[in-house]
Amino acid sequence: MASKSKYNTRKDEVKKDEAQASGSLADITTLTMLLEEHRAALSSEFKSAFSTLEAKLDTLHTTVNDHEQRLLSLEANADASSVSVVTLESKYTTLADQHAKLKAKVLDLEGRSRRNNIRIFGLPEMIEGPQPSKFFAEFLVEVFGASLFASPPELDRVHRALTAKPKPGERPRSVIIRFHKFQTKDLVIREARKQRGKLQYRGTQIFINEDYSPEVLEMRAEYRVVMKELYTLGMRPSLHYPSKLFITTSDGKKKQLPSVQEAREFLKAHRRETMEAT
């Protein structure tokens, strides 16, 4: 009986081991299936990711190729533009030189066209009446006297400056007179310089100057302060056309100062010498 009991116990243990083995095999099978499913999912996910990456790389490759073509085009255009800029610079230099020469000629021609002209400042508007040429011919005789003009000078044209007529109380326009002969105009200017600040017409102070173009007036205006100081130093400055400064020093020597800067340097040196002498 004991042997039979041991046999049954052993049989139960074998059955138990077989059941455990069968359960383990089931677990392994389940795990294998899960791993296979996971592998399949990962494979699918990787394939999808690689497909997306390939598509992006293709797009990037296309973009890089497009940029490369654009850069090549820009380089070609830049080379062409560089040649164009050099050509334009050369043409600009030529045109600028021609413009400067033409401007100088125009200024010279305008200056020559004004060579016989004078300007009178300070005369009230409409004082000349309906016959300005006749009025100003007699005006010059009255202002400068018979010693300068034995008879009224011959005038080609007389008119007010071509600007808007001033309102009451405003400064009157200047009068432009064109003499028939340059010599007569030069005579008037010389006499006007001698009587600078003293010329009058029937109680009204007047000023007579040469008629210059706006460009020449601008160049001459640069010397205004310098000339004023030269006058105070007892020198006799004079501006020759268009704007060349000549001075006569106190000892009678003549000197040319071609630019405003040189005139300022001359004044500075003169002040320094004066201070050292004192």
The token pair that represents 67 in the structure block:
């940029």
pLDDT for 74 equals 81
Whole-number Å distance between alpha carbons of 132 and 45: 107
Between 201 and 253, residue with greater pLDDT: 201
pLDDT at 19 over 60: no
> E strands, the chain, where?
117-121, 155-160, 175-179, 200-201, 204-205, 207-210, 236-240, 244-248, 254-257
Among 20-29, 95-104, 182-191, 222-231, the range scoring the smallest mean pLDDT is 20-29
Between 27 and 201, residue with greater pLDDT: 201
Comparing CA positions, the residue from 217, 123, 129, 120 lying closest to residue 176 is 120
pLDDT at 77 over 90: no
pLDDT for 174 equals 96
What percentage of the chain reaches a pLDDT higher than 90? 44
Total-model pTM: 0.63
Comparing CA positions, the residue from 189, 181, 179, 186 lying closest to residue 156 is 179
Q: How confident is the model at residue 110 (pLDDT cuts 50, 70, 90)?
A: very high
The token pair that represents 208 in the structure block:
């007579």
Whole-number Å distance between alpha carbons of 150 and 184: 12
Cβ contacts of 240 within 8 Å, gap of 6 or more: 246
